[in-house]
A and B are shown apart, each in its own frame.
Chain A
Amino acid sequence: MARQISVQVETPLLEIKNLQTGFKIGKGYYNAVEKVSFKVDRRKIIGIVGESGCGKSVMSLSVMQLLPNEIAKVRGGEIKFEGRNLEKLSEREMNQIRGKEISMIFQEPMTALNPVFTIGYQLQEVLLNHEKISKKEARLKSIALLRSVGIPRPKKIVEEYPHQLSGGMRQRVIISMAIACQPKLLIADEPTTALDVTVQAQILDLLKNIQEVNDMSIIMITHDLGVVAEICDEVIVMYAGKIIEQTDVTTLFEDPKHPYTELLMGAIPKMDGKKDTLTTIEGLVPSIQQMPQVGCRFANRCPKAMPECLTTTPQLVENEPGHAVACLFFKNSTQKGRVGDR
């Protein structure tokens, strides 16, 4: 009995193994996410960083099973949520998970709400869908939810329409919807990108707070390393559909290993100390049709690239405990123990 409990504790909340998600272009499929593996433990905030087109959003849509069917599909790998393979679930079973067990908040607080329904209606819809409660209870609960995310005058706001609220307020409403059924995992796709800094600080505070109170895990997808430093426990850096570096947040900022991570950090203007020129990364991310099939995908822009980088595909290797890098520059260390198998 005791043994069983300890096993249960060890199951990660979400486990992704060798995920491949492809887009249909012309006759063939091209992978936007290429063999990505990682785990999300309970009560952790994982940051996924990368620039446009690195596959971070596509990956989160794969987890939610929300990919546009006609043009994109998961082509390989497993997505396990509490041990259940999400790929194998029926649409109805998935509907039970979406919103209740895993929920998602999006970047655009302006477009994520339906303009023709009141805030209250949209919130109650979530509650009525997933919980056995009456309309009256749902109404009371939605008011309580709005209050819990710091919305003033919630009784009045439930009667209002999205356009009557500011961007920050709308994002709070969206967060309240996402946490309505106390999900175990929240996927936040650039939740503060469209907001002003002072509002961003409010929203990050709120997310952190909810995460602690609800014992929730968060996957924080962002391009902003500042946001990562602020609230994440662990970080995954993605480039061109692959994970290139993965470690805890302190190590990443103190000792970034992958040349891309290093350059990315140098490219951001710092608040302390004035630097006249910023580090730049020459060139562009290759398009998914032109992605090199062998070798490192960053090789054509990498200042440290060696001839080998064009012919050998680097694997994500844990060189130091808890710090995995996919770069041939660091390959001399032992090759065992990929992060996904930890």
Chain B
Amino acid sequence: MNTTKTKRSTKQTTIVEKETLLDIRHLKTYYPVKGGFLRRTMGQVKAVDDISFEIKKGETLGLVGESGCGKSTTGRTILRLLKPTDGKILFDGKDITTISGTELRHARQNFQMIFQDPYASLNPSQSVGDIISEPIRNYKKVGKKELKNEVLDLLSRVGLPREAYDKYGHEFSGGQRQRIGIARALALKPKLIVADEPVSALDVSVQSQVLNLLKELQAEFDLTYLFIAHDLSVVKHMSDRIGVMYLGNMVEVATNESLYAGPLHPYTQALISAIPEMDPKKRKDRIVLKGYVPSPQNPPSGCAFHTRCPLAKEECYQVKPTLKEVTPGHRVACILY
């Protein structure tokens, strides 16, 4: 046990020494709520409400949380598919929060996305060759033959046959379509890939194929992943560090090992406890949270989790906790610590 511990801590320090690729500071993304006369803005949904984190080069940061916690909004805001309301996004040292036009287009080569629904994310009227070559055609001047070779390379790299080139999306199964989506994301050799629930629509046996592929590609192309998922065991398998979100806030950030070995935030504890264990003998007494996630349009005062927290105190109703480093590399936003 001791030896594994020291091993882990050395691994941790190597991660810390790595360069930062993405630095998010006090990011906020609000959606306007329109209604009433002339569809005026009636209020705001605080989908992402002041979160800060960073991703090192070559690492995978997992984002977990339940539906509506703002994890997808975070991913999309980072790629500048959504306009941040406030805060800063630093990519590779460069501020991309407000850039636009050519500058943004140029920057986007370096960050790509893999989508959740493999059935909806491929254009049905384009052949697979067109889909995968489109990003390359957009950014580079390449000859026809060279382009085709590049696409065939990508196809073989993601484990699809050459014949796929002339076929259309509907001719493939879910797992194969997801491979096409991965090849498209890889086409420009990006530095960062945001994978938003890339396997949640797939069957278990296919899911494992795609997860293995993502890991291989990471090692081969030195990719950095922001891996968004609601399935904690998948996130655990994929990530070096994990951020837990609740109602637009980051409640805990830690390395994979320390998060699952000793979750600190009561929400993280409940979330981990809720996962059904693959062992019928371990039917445990879980922490079953009462009630449901409150509306982000009208979030609770103080700590957003106090309405469901089994350990909530008087103070939690008033004071909004901020992320605090409790042990090296393990940060939590809770007044208990």
Interface residues, chain A, with chain B CB atoms under 8 Å away = 51-52, 152, 166-169, 196-202, 204-205, 223-227, 229-230, 232, 249-250, 253, 263-271, 274-281, 284
Contacts and interface: CB of A to CB of B under 8 A. Distances in A.
Contact of B277 (A51, A152, A226, A274): A226
B66 A267 contact: no
B66 A268 contact: no
B292 A168 contact: yes
A265 B230 contact: no
A280 B276 contact: no
Nearest to A249: B280
Nearest to B260: A271
Interface residues of B, number: 41
Interface in B240-271: 256, 260, 270-271
A51 B204 contact: yes
Given A202-B289, A204-B276, A268-B233, 14 more contacts: A52-B203, A167-B67, A197-B232, A198-B271, A198-B274, A199-B66, A223-B203, A226-B278, A229-B283, A264-B204, A267-B207, A269-B211, A278-B237, A280-B212
A40 to B, nearest CB: 19
A140 B273 CA distance: 36
Contacts of A196: 66-67, 230
25 contacts: A51-B204, A51-B205, A152-B291, A166-B292, A167-B67, A196-B230, A197-B230, A199-B292, A201-B274, A201-B288, A226-B276, A229-B280, A232-B280, A250-B280, A253-B278, A253-B280, A267-B205, A268-B204, A268-B208, A269-B211, A271-B277, A276-B215, A278-B237, A279-B208, A280-B205
A105 B68 CA distance: 25
A198 B230 contact: no
B275 interface: yes
Given A198-B289, A271-B236, A227 B270 contact: no
Nearest to B238: A269
Given A198-B271, A275-B237, A253 B289 contact: no
Contacts of A205: 286, 288
B334 to A, nearest CB: 17
B171 interface: no
Nearest 4 interchain pairs by C-beta = A226-B276, A269-B237, A278-B208, A267-B208
